[in-house]
Amino acid sequence: MLRFGILGFGHHAVLRLIPAFAGSHACELRGLWRRNSEKAQENARAFGIPRVFATPTDLCASAEIDAVFVTSPDALHLEHVLLAIQHGKAVLCEKPLGMNTAQAEAMVSAAQQAGVVFGVAQNFRYNSSVQLARQWIAEGRIGKPRLAHLQFCYDAERSPREWIYDPALACGGPIGDVGVHCIDALRFLLQDEPIAVSTIARKDGLSGDVESSAIVSMELAGGAMGMVSVTTRAAYRSLFAVTGESGTILCENGLTVDQPVNLVQIQSGRVVATEPLSNTDAYSQMLDSFAKAVAREGAYLAPGEDGLINQRLLDAAYAAWRTGARQSLAR
């Protein structure tokens, strides 16, 4: 079993990661650190976690920990990832990797030099809905992809994550928070890379210096156009749709793990195939895949290098918003 320690144990760990470890066949959660030590002790008691570490260094240096899952606020990712790498631990880091491309580059370079496995927690790649849609697209069921739309909405005022509007801790608003998930899923679905990015976004009185809603448009190398729309001002919703020359693949709730989904293929305005699916085991599948990569028994679907590509796209999206100009990406 791969023994994990979590740096930055918070709401996400309680909601998603505790169930993920419970469903994992190859990983176990052995320790945690969080900024609030009293809450750390409460979490350990509530979830039966054996060790609470006083500092991130203590966790990363422990012989009881094989791998570190970094779930701290975005601004702490660089420090925590490099610390884990320095102690020779495999590292799985939440998205986005950092606050900017330079930070992500430093993480990837350090992992490569140390020879440790480094992945980013792009769990959508392990969603059954995304994997089957990717297969259908690759099979040519809708012809060559022309348009792709991914949407993710949630109400930030209901979120217990107090730091998500703090530009000192968060990479951005919903572009950096959930938009990066959608950008990554788009790349994975189409097996193609964006070559240019344009963005429109708006702030409001509650979001302060970061955006509350945005649309990120992308031109892909293969000729498709992609759009990611995100907001923290609507009820929870996720979907993806890919339209090709001869049809469309559509999936309401396709990016969520909370409820059943139906993957639908449409041609000439009518449904020609539908597949009921569940994404409930996506996080566990992600953990087990990472464990196989650490054991050199398989490839992890979202290596740090992919996180770096996503970070470059985030930087381009924010630059496009600030300048009002389309941003080209080096190929």
Domain residues for the domain of 94 are 2-123+285-301
SS3 29: strand
DSSP state of 115: T
How many domains, the chain? 2
Whether 180 has a pLDDT exceeding 90, the answer reads yes
pLDDT for position 205: 87
The answer to whether residues 42 and 136 belong to one domain is no
The answer to whether residues 95 and 138 belong to one domain is no
The answer to whether residues 66 and 189 belong to one domain is no
Q: Is the CB of residue 24 less than 8 Å from the CB of residue 289?
A: no
The answer to the question of residue 306 being in a domain is: no
DSSP state of 14: I
Q: Is the N-terminal amide bond of 56 cis, ω within 30° of 0?
A: no
The answer to whether residues 249 and 113 belong to one domain is no
179 to each of 8, 87, 228, 271, how far by Cα in Å? 21, 32, 7, 29
The answer to whether residues 149 and 273 belong to one domain is yes
- Crossing angle of the two packed helices 128-138 and 180-190, in degrees rounded to 10: 40
Instruction: Report the CATH number that the domain containing residue 319 is assigned in CATH.
Output: 3.30.360.10
The answer to the question of residue 45 being in a domain is: yes
Task: Give the pair of three-digit tokens for residue 116.
Answer: 């440790």
The answer to whether residues 290 and 176 belong to one domain is no
Mean pLDDT across the chain: 96
Cα separation, 228 vs 214, in Å, equals 8
Task: Give the pair of three-digit tokens for residue 305.
Answer: 């290098």
The answer to whether residues 275 and 289 belong to one domain is no
The answer to the question of residue 79 being in a domain is: yes
Task: Give the pair of three-digit tokens for residue 86.
Answer: 């320095």
Q: Is the CB of residue 12 less than 8 Å from the CB of residue 73?
A: no
The answer to the question of residue 72 being in a domain is: yes
pLDDT tens readout for residues 20-61: 999 999 999 999 999 899 999 999 999 999 999 999 999 999
The answer to whether residues 260 and 131 belong to one domain is yes
Pairing mode, strands 67-70 and 90-93: parallel
What single letter denotes the amino acid at residue 245?
E
The answer to whether residues 238 and 255 belong to one domain is yes
Task: Give the pair of three-digit tokens for residue 183.
Answer: 């950008």
The answer to whether residues 188 and 295 belong to one domain is no
Instruction: Report the CATH number that the domain containing residue 63 is assigned in CATH.
Output: 3.40.50.720
The mean pLDDT value for 283-306 works out to: 98
pLDDT tens readout for residues 203-253: 998 888 999 999 999 999 999 999 999 999 999 999 999 999 999 999 999
The answer to the question of residue 295 being in a domain is: yes
Predicted confidence band at 164 (pLDDT cuts at 50, 70, 90)?
confident
The answer to whether residues 89 and 50 belong to one domain is yes
The answer to the question of residue 269 being in a domain is: yes
Q: Residue 247: name the closest of 150, 151, 149, 147 by CA.
A: 147
Weakest mean pLDDT among 64-68, 152-156, 188-192:
152-156
The answer to whether residues 96 and 148 belong to one domain is no
Cα separation, 10 vs 8, in Å, equals 6
The answer to the question of residue 22 being in a domain is: yes
Cα separation, 312 vs 28, in Å, equals 32
